Chains A and B, each alone.
Chain A
Amino acid sequence: MKITREEVQRVAALARLQFSPEEEEVLTGQLDKILQYVEKLNQLDTTGVEPRAHAVDVVNVFREDRVSPSPPLEELLANVPEQEGCFFRVPKIIEQ
């Protein structure tokens, strides 16, 4: 086994996901198969190889620190699930 149901639950919690027991069973089996396949990477000797996170060489891009107008608030809030005035209304974040 490359991955257990408990690990799937742990990772699901990190990713803010949850599964029914049946889904969990199927998912664990699928992930196990995938991880076994991915194991192949360990055959490769990568000592001394610099990791490459970018497709092509990139450098950071800067612009002038100039204020420019933002789109109107109503446009930006148009997709809000719950709104109160000009605020996003969300569940309580900080417990007393």
Chain B
Amino acid sequence: MDLAELSAGDLIPLIETREISCREVMESVLCKIESCESVVQAYILVRPRKVLIAEAEAVDKRRKKGDPIGPLAGLPIAIKDNICTKGIKTTCASRILEKFVPPYNATVVDRILDADGIIIGKTNLDEFAMGSSTENSAFRITRNPHNPDRVPGGTSGGSAAAIGAHETILAVGSDTGGSIRQPASFCGVVGVKPTYGRVSRYGLIAYGSSLDQIGALTKNVHDAALLLGVLAGRDAQDSTCLSEPVPDFLEAEKSIRRMRVGVPQEYFAEGLDPGVRACVENAIDVFRQGGHQIVPVSLPHTEYAVPAYYICACAEASSNLARYDGMKYGLRIGGKDLAETYIKTRAEGFGPEVKRRIILGTYALSAGYYDAYYLKAMKTRALIAGDFEAAFDKCEVLVHPVAPSPAFKVGEKIDDPLAMYLGDIYSVIANLVGFPAISVPCGKTSDGLPVGLQIGAKPMDELTMFHAAFWLEAALANNGSGGATRS
């Protein structure tokens, strides 16, 4: 039995009964990394073997003594490299932070450590979380574990690929416009973005502050509910973090209830890959056959979501990335004076996609253009939110494809930024509106490429979202069309 290929839900009972040790799990995962990493390239940094084994053994020792062990049970967790880890290099896949070592942990990292998770390494991403393929990393291209000619998706491509290739048991990512859900869909794994404000952003290096959320990438829905439960909850360090109590997301596995499943008509127009359509329509059929009511709904402002998103996100990014000026941390390239130092540092340090978005954002906010672009986008955002409120009157969950295509080829879209942006058409809405959404594998195309179904619920209603996700995962496994690792 290859321990690295099991889920947290499978491993934890075996660890608790001492059939296996945390050390054995860590060894198995490190072995997998050794055999896969040269192709997959999921990691920017893997912590030293000696240290990881020692940390795993320390948990084993404590368990032997009878000490209480946290819910992450000494399992390895990969962290996307835009999340600060004290003493461990955090680069955002950018030259401007290539040598940056944070002096503090992100709140989610502290929570993982308190829960006895072991941080195995930092995963690759598109630079500063800007992109949809992980090709914008300054350091390496991550490959899809199902097909090395294909992208893993982005921007949490490293975390998704690491889960898909069994190079970790659990992983953390971030999602601003689909950056957890789309790579989860492309790599055939589960990816969940919580309600905006459920998880603290303290220590998440900011891209679009009103859109960013940290979430989980895992082998199945159970592990996602487990990990999200550890990450979520109020945090005094992040004033956008909600103070509402966090329910036990694992409870959603137990409830049995028939739901009204909303299907937005606009998401099934032309442009949807036939392989994706087939898998998603099959999943909807499975809901129907299981006694759930399928409710067609309309989201009339769908076509305005991508432009509204890119204006908002780029505007916020242009502000958030102003801090990279070479003065207090990160790369500094000296010029003849202050102005030249700023310019040279940023010109050298940022990659092309980051620069593109900063320029777009600065333009949208600049005098004379603010009303036409940024203000217009904010108003569009309000209308889009209105669509969702109306839809959630008619259903408990909304289901649709995560992306219009399965994983595309490496290099296929990188020279056409607009084509890359249009792939986000179904995913950005969850960030604009702030509702929780999960991608659950629902089959593969005839080329063997995974497809994910997005299940979204009302803000704060992760329990209903998880309930639908648990139900679907089990139903798909029963009728042989699923793709996740069973717990």
**Chain A contacts to B: CB under 8 angstroms:** 3, 7-8, 11-12, 14-19, 23, 27, 30-31, 33-35, 37-38, 40-42, 44, 46, 49-56, 58, 60-61, 63, 71, 75-76, 78-82, 88, 90-93
Contacts and interface: CB of A to CB of B under 8 A. Distances in A.
B91 to A, nearest CB: 12
B346 interface: yes
Given A11-B366, A79-B328, A91-B338, A58 B418 contact: no
B330 A53 contact: no
B375 A41 contact: no
B318 interface: yes
B332 A81 contact: yes
Contacts of A44: 301, 304, 376, 379-380, 383
B210 A61 contact: no
Contact of B359 (A31, A60, A79): A31
Interface of B: 99-101, 103-104, 195-197, 210-211, 236, 239-240, 242, 301, 303-304, 307-308, 310-311, 318, 322, 325-332, 334-335, 337-339, 341-344, 346-347, 350, 352, 355-356, 358-360, 362-363, 366, 372-373, 375-383, 385, 417-418, 421, 431-434, 459
Given A17-B350, A40-B307, A50 B382 contact: yes
B390 to A, nearest CB: 15
B180 to A, nearest CB: 15
A56 B337 contact: no
A81 B380 contact: no
21 contacts: A8-B359, A16-B325, A17-B346, A17-B350, A31-B356, A33-B418, A34-B418, A44-B376, A44-B380, A46-B383, A49-B382, A53-B210, A55-B432, A56-B459, A61-B239, A79-B328, A80-B329, A81-B330, A81-B331, A90-B338, A91-B338
Contacts of A35: 360
Given A18-B347, A58-B240, A76-B103, A31 B383 contact: no
Q: Which label, helix, strand, loop or mixed, suits the secondary structure of the B interface?
A: helix
Chain B CB count within 10 A is highest, among A38, A58, A60, for A38
B346 A88 contact: no
A79 B330 contact: yes
A82 B332 contact: yes
B362 A11 contact: yes
Nearest to A63: B236
Contact of A55 (B322, B337, B342, B433): B433
Contact of B376 (A46, A60, A63): A46
Chain B CB count within 10 A is highest, among A8, A40, A91, for A91
A17 B380 contact: no
Contacts of B328: 79-81, 88
Contacts of B335: 91
A5 to B, nearest CB: 12
Contacts of B376: 41-42, 44, 46
Given A14-B366, A15-B358, A31-B359, A51 B343 contact: no
B373 A38 contact: yes
A38 B313 CA distance: 13
Contact of A78 (B101, B197, B350): B101
A79 B331 CA distance: 9
A50 to B, nearest CB: 6
B100 A49 contact: no
Given A17-B347, A38-B310, A81-B329, 12 more contacts: A17-B350, A19-B347, A27-B355, A41-B373, A50-B382, A52-B379, A52-B381, A56-B196, A56-B242, A71-B103, A80-B328, A92-B338
Contacts of B344: 18
B421 to A, nearest CB: 7
Nearest to A50: B382
A18 B240 contact: no
B100 to A, nearest CB: 6
A75 B355 CA distance: 30
Nearest to A43: B304
B200 to A, nearest CB: 12
B262 to A, nearest CB: 20
Contact of B375 (A51, A55, A60): A51
Given A11-B366, A91-B334, A91-B337, A75 B103 contact: yes
Contacts of A42: 372, 376
B359 A51 contact: no
B266 to A, nearest CB: 14
A7 B369 CA distance: 12
Nearest to A16: B342
B356 A30 contact: yes
Nearest to A93: B338
Nearest to B334: A91
Contacts of A92: 337-338
Nearest to A26: B352
Contacts of A34: 310, 360, 417-418, 421
